[in-house]
Structures are given as C-alpha cells and as structure tokens.
Amino acid sequence: MKSTACSINARPSLGDLRDLSQQLQRDADVSGSSLRHRDRRIGQELVTCQDKPAAQVKGWLQEMRALTGDLRGDRVNVMRRLGLLALGVAGLFVGWGAAAVVLRYDGSQPVNIIHFLAVFVVLQLVTLVFFGISMLPPAVTRFLPGMTTAQEGIGLLSPGRLQHLMNRFLPQSYRDTTASLVGKGLAHHRLYGKVDRWVVVHSSQFFACCFNLGALASCLYLVTFSDLAFSWSTTLQLDATDFKRWTDILSAPWAPFFADGRPSLDLIERTRYFRLNEGTFPTSVTPAGLGGWWPFLVMCLAVYGLLPRLVTLLATQLRLRSVTRRTFLHLPGVADLLVRLNTELVETQAAEPETDGGPRRQGPGTPVGQGQMTGQTAEVVNWAAAADDPDSLRARLREVDELEVSGWHEAGGATAPAVDQQVIAATSGSSVMILVKGWEPPMEDFLDFLRALRQAGDTQRALHVTPLGAEPNHLIMWQKTLSRLGDPWLTLSRLEGEDS
C-alpha cells in the first residue's frame, strides 16, 4: 500500500469495535516480541495513515480479519441494522395505529382536536423532556438529588431496550455477537457502557422518528381518503379567543410562510362542539369547514413530533459515532498497538533457537570419594599449577593424607602438550593423583589427558582427580563432567580437611 493518501475510512462501526476488543484480548496471551513483529510489519504497510490513528487501527483490524478469519464483527453490524429495521417497522405501525385511533371518525361525533394535540404534541413534548433528562451528563446530575434514579427509571422505559429483548430470540452464534453490541460479556465494560447507552438512545430516537412518520402518513391518508370532521371540545373554561391564543402559539413556527396552517378565529368559533348537543354541529359550518383544521394538525405533528425527533436522531447518531470512535481509540491496548504500528521494531534476540549441549554431556556416573589414597603411594600431577607451592603441598600430603608421593609432575596450564606425553609415560605404572584447580571447569584438554593416562599402562590402576579449593557447586561440576568418561577406576578425591 504505497499510495500517498490514506484510503481507509476512519469511521469505526460497532462491529469494528467488537472485533478490536476481541483481538486485543487475544493478544494479551501473545508474547510482546511476537506482537511487535506482527504489528510493525502491518504498520509499515499502513504508513500513509500514520497521522490518522482510527484509520490505522481499522487497517490493522482488516489485516487481522484476513489473518485469523474468525473475527465476525460484520454480524454485529448486520444485527444492528436488522434491529433498527424491526424497530422502524414497529414505530411505523404504532404511529399509524395511534393516529388512526385518535382520528377515528364514524360520523356520529367529530374528531376532537384536543385529543390529537394531547397525544401528538403534549405527550411527545413530555417524552422529549424525559429524553433531555436522561441525557444530562454526570457532571450535572451529581448536583441534582434523585436525578440519577430518574435517569435509570427513564432508561428502563426506552424502546431502544427492545434490541436487548430481541437478542433472546436469536440463534446462539448471533446472540454472542449481539451481546457485544450492547457491551455485555466483554472486558472493559466501563468503556462499553457509554457505547451501549448511546446504542439504546439512538435506537429509541429512530423508533420515535418512525412513530411520527407513521402517524403523519396515517393522518395524511385519512385526510385524503376519508371525510374527517374536526372540532374542539373541552370541559375547561376556555373560550374561542383563549383557544385561538394557544393555536397561534403552536402555529407560530410555520405561520409566516404557511398561513393556512394557522386556524382562524372564525374556524375556531364555528367548530366548537358540545357533547350535550350530541349529533349536532354548529349550524353555520359547512362540511368543508369542519375539515379546515387538517393543515394545522399535520404541521403540529411534523413540527412538534417529527422534527424534534429528526434532530435528536441526528444528534444521537453523531454522538454514537463519536463515542464509538472514542472508545475504539481508547480501549486498553490500543495505545500500545499504535506504538507498535508506528515505531521502529528493535530486536536483539537470537536468530536461531537454542540447542542443548549435545552428546558431550552424556555418560554414566563416577562416584565422588574422599581420602581414598590414604596410606598409598602415588605419582602426583600438578595440573595447570593448581598447587602454587608444591613443596608445602607434598609435605601436607605425606603428613595429613598419609600419601607417599613417589613422583611430582607438572602438566597442563602453561606447559606444552608435549610435556603431558612425557608425564603420561613417566607415570604409566602407578596410581596417579591429579591436582586440579577446583574453581576452574574441567575442559576437553584435561579430559584428553585423563583418557591418555588411562590407556597407558595398567588399565585398572587408580586415577584420582583432586580439586583444590573447590566449593560444593564446583564439585558437582567436576563430578558430572568426569562421569562422561565412564571410567570405573577414576575417582574424584578430596584432600583431608577440605570442606565439601
């Protein structure tokens, strides 16, 4: 992807959010090194989107979908659209039905405009106020006692919650994905809570819009295809002038450009209806005059019902989008992901896997003894100048360890390998004690010497390796290494007085 402009749509959907969350949770079990490798490679392909984090994360998600093949956020989007469709259809039917009931006219009594205004203006304005309350941010509700409870109560009545209900009737595979749509069953619910809330609110506003559209369509249908007679009737002390004042207030938004939508005083006076005079209409009014209210009623429905809901639908749509985007970019793990995508991959680890030490480490055990040379006679080899004061050590061997030293030889260390051969030849008929530095590891050089020593002369003569100044861990090292030789006549000896 080497184009100069970022071609990825930076707007994340709910399905993207769900997939991102799922993939980040999976990544929690992957090593940091693997993640850095994978994400830096993807980041280099998305270099044109470097200044657009949402687009970059979306691009990364596309790549992960292709890699894993089991991120099914698309189902969330499908279910969301299906849910909205179902809510929309329900809203249209309910709206149509409500208008049909309110505008029901069988010729016996006219349609009371007060009923219409109560249902389609006052009630809608009340629900709008409820909506306003439920939208108050915590910063405000904190100072208003009982407001949080009121918000929760209003929330329970929201038609958007029908989406949760519908989820129960879906197959299990879809139920899982839709559960994430409403933010359940996922980690980080504190972030999803907001998305969930705005999904419900947006769905509610969509339902309300469809309700008003249904009512408007029903109203227009009835006006067009039936002969409606409107009148107004109330028990309240309200005369035509008072009522005119109310209708003027209600029609103020459209009166300047749609005069027919404002009822005249004459129409109001002539269409007042008293139920005591059942079956009689004001005498002076013509049937056409009784229908003269419809432009006002349609405009009321459009302006006080549909229009505010269109505005709230748009506002909640934008808010849902913004909350989704914000959540998308602030899920735990996204900041780290962006760092991995955009910063150089620094690697220091091995290019090839570690192997163990190989066959060199195999072999039977050799017992570790102590003081086995007491009372014996032996040739002593001072390997690599292990004894830095040979004279005092010889004396000590004689006095403390009761060892008769028949010969003293220097080998290993700074001496040439040829000297080793001379020592081997010189000691071929006797038991041999080899003094070594306990703190130094036994190397192949020394093991070669031991092998050669064994092959020269009596194959069953005692060979004693005696580490000087060895700590317990050194002794283990010597014991294990010498065991590789598989020599039953070879022992690891310690001098008397040297602590093990």
Partner 1 sequence: MSTSPQFAVVGHPNKGKSSIVSTLAHDDSVLVGELPGTTTRCRHFPMKVDGEVLYTLIDTPGFQRARSAWAWLQEHETTADQRPELVRRFVAEHAGQGSFPDEVELLQPIMEGAGILYVVDGSVPYGPEYDAEMEILRWTGQPRLALINPIGQADHIEAWRTALGQYFSVVRVFNAVTADFEKRVELLRAFGQLQEEWRRPLQRAADNLEADRRRRREAAARTVAETLAEMLSLKVTRTIDPEDEVDPAKAELVIKYQQRLEALELAARQAVESAYDHHDLDRRESSLDDLVAQDLFSAESWRIFGLSRRKLLGIGAVGGAAAGGAIDLAVGGTSFLLGTLIGSGIGAATTFFAANSLVDVKLFQIPMGRKKLVAGPTKNRNFPYVVFGRARLHHALVSGRSHAQRGELDLDEQARALMPSLPAGENRLLEKFFSRLRGRRDVVSSTERLAEVIARVFKQDEAADS
Which residues contact partner 1 by CB under 8 A? Answer: 28, 31-33, 40, 44, 138-139, 187-188, 190-191, 326, 330, 332, 335-336, 339, 343-358, 360-361, 384-385, 412-418, 437, 439-445, 448, 473, 476-477, 480-481
Of the pair 48, 271, the CB lying nearest partner 1 is at 48
In angstroms, give the least distance from the CB of 160 to partner 1.
21
Q: Closest approach of Cβ 411 to partner 1, in Å? A: 10
Q: Give, as one character, the DSSP assignment of residue 443.
A: P
Structural tokens at position 365: 């055990």
CB of 136 to partner 1, least distance (A): 15
Q: From CA 7, how far away is CA 59, in angstroms rounded?
A: 9
Structure-token match 């209003």, residue found: 154
Closest approach, Cβ 173 to partner 1, in A, equals 26
Kindly state the smallest distance separating residue 45's Cβ from partner 1, in Å.
13
AA letter at 470: A
Q: Report in angstroms how near the CB of residue 492 gets to partner 1 at its nearest.
A: 15
- Provide the b/e sequence for 452-482 (b: ≥16 CB within 10 Å): ebbebeeeebbbbbbbbebeeebbebbbebb
From the list 463, 398, 400, 395, the residue with the least C-alpha distance to 429 is: 463
Angle (nearest 5°) at CA 449 between 446 and 455: 145
Whose Cβ is closer to partner 1: residue 222's or residue 468's? 468
Smallest separation, CB 394 to partner 1 (Å): 20
Structural contact between residues 434 and 381, judged by C-beta atoms closer than 8 angstroms:
yes
62 — phi, psi (to 5°)?
Answer: -60, -45
Q: Identify which of residues 24 and 103 has a Cβ nearer to partner 1 in the complex.
A: 24
Structural tokens at position 359: 């066959």
User: With respect to partner 1, which residue has the nearer C-beta, 142 or 245?
Assistant: 142
If the CB atoms of residues 31 and 283 are measured against partner 1, the closer one turns out to be 31
Least separation in angstroms between residue 471's CB and partner 1 is: 9
Using an 8 Å Cβ cutoff, are 158 and 204 in contact?
yes
Whether 411 and 383 have beta carbons less than 8 Å apart is answered as yes
Q: Which is nearer to partner 1, 28 or 85 (CB)?
A: 28
Q: Which residue's CB is nearer to partner 1, number 146 or number 357?
A: 357
Q: Residue 383's closest CA among 320, 449, 337, 430? A: 449
Least gap, CB of 59 to partner 1 (angstroms) = 18
Determine contact, residues 198/326, Cβ cutoff 8 Å: no
The token pair at 186 is 């996922």
Using CB atoms within 10 A of its CB, is residue 121 exposed (0-12), middle (13-18) or buried (19+)? middle
Q: How far is the CB of 138 from partner 1 (least distance, A)?
A: 7
Q: Give whichever of 282 and 413 is closer to partner 1, judged by the CB atom.
A: 413
Instruction: Kindly tell me which of 281 and 478 has the beta carbon lying closer to partner 1.
Output: 478
Q: How far apart are CB 358 and partner 1 at their closest, in Å?
A: 5
Contact between 207 and 159 (Cβ < 8 Å): yes
Q: Which is nearer to partner 1, 229 or 477 (CB)?
A: 477
User: 379 or 440: whose CB is closer to partner 1?
Assistant: 440
Q: What are phi and psi of 463, to 5 degrees?
A: -120, 120
- C-alpha 200/C-alpha 77 separation (Å) is 15
Q: What angle, 0 to 180 degrees and rounded to 10, lies between the N-to-C axes of helices 14-27 and 334-342?
A: 80
Laid out side by side, the sheet with 432-437 consists of: 404-411, 377-383, 432-437, 463-468, 490-492
Whole-number Å distance between alpha carbons of 410 and 390: 10
CA atoms within 13 Å, Cβ hemisphere of 58: 18
